[in-house]
Amino acid sequence: MSQRRVRIAALTDRRLHRLTWAIALPAIVANISGPLVGVVDSWAMGRMGDPLYLAAIAAGGYAFHVLYWAFGFLRMGTTGLVAQALGRQRRDELARTVGAAVILGLAVALMVLLL
């Protein structure tokens, strides 16, 4: 392999790594932030002196966790369909998929609020 091709391949690899990290880093931070909020809440309420505060944080954290992952199906299912529509450059399919996900998300959120 010529020296020029090796350099081009290395540049492509570096660019690919940069692009991958540009997508991955915000996802990593988002996934860390949820549990981190629970840790900080537990630390703060644990210092209040009454174990009831800590129990309330634990119950609220559990409820949040259940609701968060209950909506995970929508995020995970929509991501693949949106990526496929973008890859095919089908704007109509993309709009339908996002619209359906938004309507479904709002409907489920309304049901949760009414409970």
Nearest to 82 by CA among 102, 97, 71, 92: 97
62 in any annotated domain: no
Res 9: pLDDT: 62
Q: Is residue 48 located within the same domain as residue 78?
A: no
90 in any annotated domain: yes
Q: Is residue 51 located within the same domain as residue 77?
A: no
Q: Is residue 113 located within the same domain as residue 89?
A: yes
Res 6: pLDDT: 59
63 in any annotated domain: no
Nearest to 58 by CA among 71, 36, 72, 41: 41
Q: What angle do CA 84, 107, 99 make, to 5 degrees?
A: 30
Residue 94 CB-half CA count within 13 A: 10
Structural domain containing residue 13: 1-57
The number of beta carbons lying within 10 Å of the beta carbon of residue 46 is: 13
For the chain, how many structural domains are there in total? 2
Q: Is residue 75 located within the same domain as residue 114?
A: yes
The number of beta carbons lying within 10 Å of the beta carbon of residue 52 is: 10
Indicate the pTM of the whole model: 0.55
14 in any annotated domain: yes
Q: Is residue 37 located within the same domain as residue 85?
A: no
Q: Are 41 and 61 in contact (CB under 8 A)?
A: yes
Which of the four pLDDT bands, split at 50, 70 and 90, describes residue 3? low
Q: Is residue 52 located within the same domain as residue 1?
A: yes
Residue 46 pLDDT exceeds 60: yes
Higher pLDDT, 65 or 84: 84
66 in any annotated domain: no
d(CA 81, CA 69): 19
Q: Is residue 76 located within the same domain as residue 110?
A: yes
